[in-house]
Amino acid sequence: MNKLDSIMAKGAHFDEMSRLTIAALFMHEKNYSKALQAINTLKSLPGLSAQIGIYIAMNRLDLAERQVKLMQSKDDFSSLTQLALAEVRLVGGDARMAHDLASELEEKYKATPMLKNIQAAAAIVMRNYTLAKEYCESALEMDSDNPEALVNMIYVMSELGSQSETRTRYYERLRVLHPNHELVQDMNKVEQVFSRA
């Protein structure tokens, strides 16, 4: 990352795909300012969508909403615009609209783990845990290693009062497949605190 940082500091010019890749690498490192720096001049739908993802990670819903409006002014009916709008609405608390947008995209194209995870998260916000479980199961059928679906399923199982063995099975799968996931890292910290006590 240091080498990439120094190359960017020298003002090297990259094409859009390279800049989006660089932003994704910085996002993975949770270096949101560098991620934005890599793509802040992009005005394409993919560039604006990536900026929205960064703003959501930074808890800057106001800036994410502004970028969605830019996307809508360019192409309100684009699937990428609709997907970005669904994510912003979900984060903003409008779970019903997020759910409906994801469902419309699913009907128009096909079900994907991402759409199922948006639907599951929306159902969780609406406290419809049975429906959320169905969406999680569907996402996991499509991609059994999907970290968002595993996290959503762990939460849903907890809310439904499922046996701890079931929750533990999903958590262990997440821990083994995605050891750097934020939930796994947080749980490791908790376990370390308890082991010292």
**DSSP states of 110-167 as a string?**
---HHHHHHHHHHHHHTT-HHHHHHHHHHHHHH-TT-HHHHHHHHHHHHHTT--HHHH
pLDDT digits (tens, 9 = 90+) for 15-64: 889 889 999 999 988 899 999 999 998 999 999 999 999 999 999 999 99
Domain count for the chain, please give it: 1
In a domain, 116, yes or no: no
What pTM was computed for the model? 0.84
pLDDT digits (tens, 9 = 90+) for 74-111: 999 999 999 999 999 999 999 999 999 999 999 999 99
Distance from C-alpha of 89 to C-alpha of 133, rounded to nearest angstrom: 21
Distance from C-alpha of 164 to C-alpha of 55, rounded to nearest angstrom: 35
Average pLDDT over residues 134-159: 95
Question: What pLDDT does 6 receive?
Answer: 66
The percentage of the chain sitting over the pLDDT mark of 70, rounded to a whole number, equals: 93
Residue 7 above 70 pLDDT?
Answer: no
In a domain, 108, yes or no: no
In a domain, 122, yes or no: no
- CATH number of the domain encompassing residue 12: 1.25.40.10
On average, the pLDDT of the chain sits at 91
In this structure, what token pair is assigned to residue 156? 């849903």
In a domain, 180, yes or no: no
